[in-house]
Structure 1
């Protein structure tokens, strides 16, 4: 069998690898990597290694300014009072029987099979500007109530000088079958008919919040000198975005009680206006909320 002539343009694998290693060695030597420690290696890879001394100095100043801005914003959390005893009582004035009777008036058939019930319900968005939800369905009126809560909550946060947070919807419509299964697994589940079966009721976790990061509207950024390079500006922008998100997540954890207080006050206002009923649960860390009047046909949130 005749041998195939070697392709003069084809590179031998061993030579290709050797050439790649030689090239890499020259690059590493050029930036002082040969024999360098791991920290030096990471430093050489950093975009800051390509910046001028003036750029790096500007970044140091900008980081310090932004850290001071975040510290100042944190003081706004500390200035807000937790829920008072009176406010806590107001959040428990509508007991479960009131929720069920209101849900029966405004909701779907609680005994309808799940597939049939969903014909009159709408999907909860996984996330929107006001809340985060894993899954679930609600009546259009209940969805409008969720938006009303979100608008009121974020308005209160803005007035207090706090960044925008979204709350977490932990439960929505439950079919009769699911409610029966839940009672077997969870002793805290309501006995008898639950207002969740009507599609008008949802639970909001009062200790869990998600920062509403908006790239187009971040927290105030330091002003850089005109001489700072495009590379340095881009690097700093990404760095400060990460700082902002990490700070906001930490605030949501450390000041969950303060965010609960502002959310609770929004719920009290809306209940006073006849929009919804609220029950602050104790054994489960959530607000149990039922829409109290038609909202979807009235043009949306209150």
Structure 2
């Protein structure tokens, strides 16, 4: 048996360590080379897939038909789907007398509830201007030449008249009818006016709703055409057609409990009191 000296053991151990170090370095280089190759292959594969997806997606976007855009929510009240204005029909009301049956006693109770103290004469009306508002010609209505009344109403009645005129405009617009203003024929009456009126109008009552500034009359057989004085003439519209539209507006207001309405046959007007 060969005896290993301390010197020989040291030499063998050193050689072994060097060989192991060389082998380890070679293994690391080979692993790095393989990893780079795999990474390169993965990159190429990923890019290829991404390009494929992009191209396929583009083909789908290009070839897919464009979806029709549909409106969201309820259809417009003023325009059809093709953009043309909606022309609403005129319905009128079934029967003027039955639809507007509010007689003087019913309107008088509302007038006394919502109005001012009965006006004695025109001087008294002038002193009561803090309780009343002036009612003159307006973009939405025309005040006729007043013979037996003065142009004042309580604020709530003035607002009602304004809203009726505006709603009448809106209704004419949706029905594609040339604009016309309603005509107010009677507003606030003093007790002196009522006495004078009763001399030639048996329909006028002594305790009139007009005394309280809550009531006005709008005629249904005359209207004021809205047109440019320097422009072309507007097409003629039958008063009956305008009356039917106005009756729709008043019926809506009455259903909303904003007013009481009586259809006056002899006077040719709607007798209206704020409610």
TM-score range, shorter chain: 0.5 to 0.7
Whole-angstrom CA distance in 2 between matches of 1:111 and 1:167: 26
Question: Greater CA radius of gyration, 1 or 2?
Answer: 2
Q: Which runs of 5+ in 1 are unaligned?
A: 1-75, 216-237, 293-302
Structure 2 length-normalised TM: 0.61
**8 Å contact from structure 2 (residues 227, 233) kept in 1:** no
For CA contacts below 8 A with separation 6 or more, give which structure has more relative contact order.
1
1:171-190 map, 5 Å = 171-190=186-205
Whole-angstrom CA distance in 1 between matches of 2:228 and 2:90: 24
Aligned partner (choices 87, 91, 98) of residue 89 of structure 1 = 98
**8 Å contact from structure 2 (residues 115, 214) kept in 1:** yes
Higher helix share: 1
Aligned partner (choices 140, 159, 181) of residue 155 of structure 2 = 140
Is the counterpart of residue 169 in structure 1 residue 184 in structure 2? yes
The residue that corresponds to 1:284 in the other structure is 267
1:91-130 map, 5 Å = 91-92=100-101, 94-118=102-126, 119=128, 120-125=131-136, 127-130=137-140
The residue that corresponds to 1:195 in the other structure is 209
**8 Å contact from structure 2 (residues 121, 193) kept in 1:** no
Whole-angstrom CA distance in 1 between matches of 2:270 and 2:165: 14
Whole-angstrom CA distance in 1 between matches of 2:202 and 2:260: 23
C-alpha displacement of 1:81: 4.6
1:34-45 map, 5 Å = none
Aligned partner (choices 154, 170, 173) of residue 155 of structure 1 = 170
**Equivalences, count:** 181
Structure 1 length-normalised TM: 0.56
Moved more, 147-156 or 130-139: 130-139
Secondary structure, counterpart of 1:166 in structure 2:
strand
Whole-angstrom CA distance in 2 between matches of 1:115 and 1:121: 14
The residue that corresponds to 2:249 in the other structure is 266
Whole-angstrom CA distance in 1 between matches of 2:99 and 2:262: 9
Is the counterpart of residue 213 in structure 1 residue 227 in structure 2? yes
**8 Å contact from structure 2 (residues 222, 239) kept in 1:** yes
